[in-house]
Amino acid sequence: MLKIYNTLSREKEVFTPKVEGKVGMYVCGMTVYDYCHIGHARVMVVFDIVARYLRYSGYDLTYVRNVTDIDDKIIQRANENKEEISELTERFIDAMHEDERELSVLPPDIEPRATKSMDDIILMITALFEKGLAYTGSNGDVFYAVDKFANYGALSGKKLDELQAGERVDVNLAKKNPFDFVLWKKSKVDEPYWNSPWGRGRPGWHIECSAMATRCLGHHFDIHGGGMDLQFPHHENEIAQSEGATGEKFVNVWMHNGFVRINEEKMSKSLGNFFTVREVLKQYRAEIVRFFVLSSHYRSPLNYSDEQLDDAGSAVTRLYTALRGVVVATDVQATDYTLRFKQAMDDDFNTAVAVAVLFDMARELNKIKNNDVELAAQLAAELKELSSVLGILQDDPDEFLKTADGTQDSGLAEQAIEALIAQRIAAKKNKDWALADKIRDDLKAQGIVLEDVATGTSWRYE
């Protein structure tokens, strides 16, 4: 029985989809004016695992993750780069897809874009006008009148009269209420625009998600996710727009993942303390980054440091080492491990506990792999299947262990390493321990570790 923490109720709830056996999930994706950083990677990986687990549990899932490809920052960045907006956004969408593939994030079923959803956006704003929830401000922008929506603040636990207007941003005098937000922004000269009943302009930040989500999944659907920082105002505003326009409940379960931090501080573009995915992947292999993300619960903060990533590397190495040299059975038989794994994942996607189950399996595998080949093959198959739900451990163990990451490539070809190992074996036969140890030490100095196992000598990068 799957339980999910719902931000709306602030408790774990038993998950019951709207339509039995089917799930619609929408996740707020990227605004594409720069490379993805590790915080974005966390969103991608976390909801990828949610999607994988829902499917593993037998649900027919439709997973939608949008791309916001028009907004003020995009316009600004394109101007700075003296680049066409579409050129800029295409470039970063491609980069995002590359990062995603690297991290073994399966693509969402639908990836709608704001610029390709203008009809839906305009229709929704029109509906909001009809319901008396939208108005045109003195500057020509169209705003949402938050005090007309009774439930405003329900998701983020905020009350309009307790919010501090103008705390960080000057109050826009064109609005009736400082917390009203833009639905349609009138375009200035030289700015891109779409035609609308309210003149040439572009959508405000929040409306595109409401429009795309309801178009792809219907007015009312099961799960909506995103980073913690989107809770307010983005998701709050999405609810106001969608429910205001359709008159129906928008989303049953709201999921928010915690931040990636650096030195106990949120990683963010505005603080400038972020690492891009591609920077990190130069140093650490993608699977290690992925393991790092799922080693803690998705709602907890995740502190980024080299030490943490190194630990993740050791952990993944241990799992692959357990699988090394084991034939994997073709059919999977679920044992108590699968049960424990499911219990962990059913408890609000507790990947930390799920991973602990994998380590218990690895320990048993290490114990039996040299004396019960058949049982080992079955256990390995089960381990690989459960790991696949987390999107890890799908490579050939030798492939993983013999691949250097960015910092440790010795430049030695595999054949050269194998030749040295052969020399060492010959030296060992002659009991020339000095030579044997020298070969081993020399390789070690280049980051290559030799391991004399039952079947011969294995090697791996440290």
Considering only residues 132 to 191 of the shown chain, the ones binding RNA according to CB under 7 A are 156-159, 162-169, 171-172, 175, 178-181
Task: Give the angle 373-379-384 at the CA atoms, nearest 5°.
Answer: 120
Name the residue nearer to RNA (CB basis): 190 or 264: 264
Contact segment (CB under 7 A) with RNA among 48-56, 84-92, 280-288, 303-311 equals: 303-311
Name the residue nearer to RNA (CB basis): 250 or 274: 274
Nearest approach in angstroms of CB 321 to RNA is 5
User: 13, 191, 360, 405: which one contacts RNA (CB under 7 A)?
Assistant: 360
In the range 399-428, which residues lie near RNA by CB under 7 A? 428
Nearest approach in angstroms of CB 248 to RNA is 24
Distances from the Cα of 248 to the Cα of 6, 136, 238, 245, 262, angstroms: 19, 24, 13, 8, 40
In the range 218-257, which residues lie near RNA by CB under 7 A? 226-234, 257
**Interface with RNA, residue 285, by CB under 7 A:** no
User: 86, 126, 187, 268: which one contacts RNA (CB under 7 A)?
Assistant: 268
Nearest approach in angstroms of CB 129 to RNA is 19
User: 283, 303, 378, 388: which one contacts RNA (CB under 7 A)?
Assistant: 303
User: 149, 152, 198, 259: which one contacts RNA (CB under 7 A)?
Assistant: 259
User: 176, 266, 278, 402: which one contacts RNA (CB under 7 A)?
Assistant: 266
Count of residues that bind RNA according to CB under 7 A: 89
Site map for RNA, 304-323, x if CB under 7 A?
---xx--x--xx--x--xx-
**Interface with RNA, residue 325, by CB under 7 A:** no
User: 18, 73, 91, 131: which one contacts RNA (CB under 7 A)?
Assistant: 73
**Interface with RNA, residue 452, by CB under 7 A:** yes
Nearest approach in angstroms of CB 150 to RNA is 18
**Interface with RNA, residue 371, by CB under 7 A:** no
**Interface with RNA, residue 352, by CB under 7 A:** yes
Name the residue nearer to RNA (CB basis): 80 or 229: 229
Nearest approach in angstroms of CB 20 to RNA is 26
Nearest approach in angstroms of CB 62 to RNA is 20
User: 2, 4, 8, 30: which one contacts RNA (CB under 7 A)?
Assistant: 30
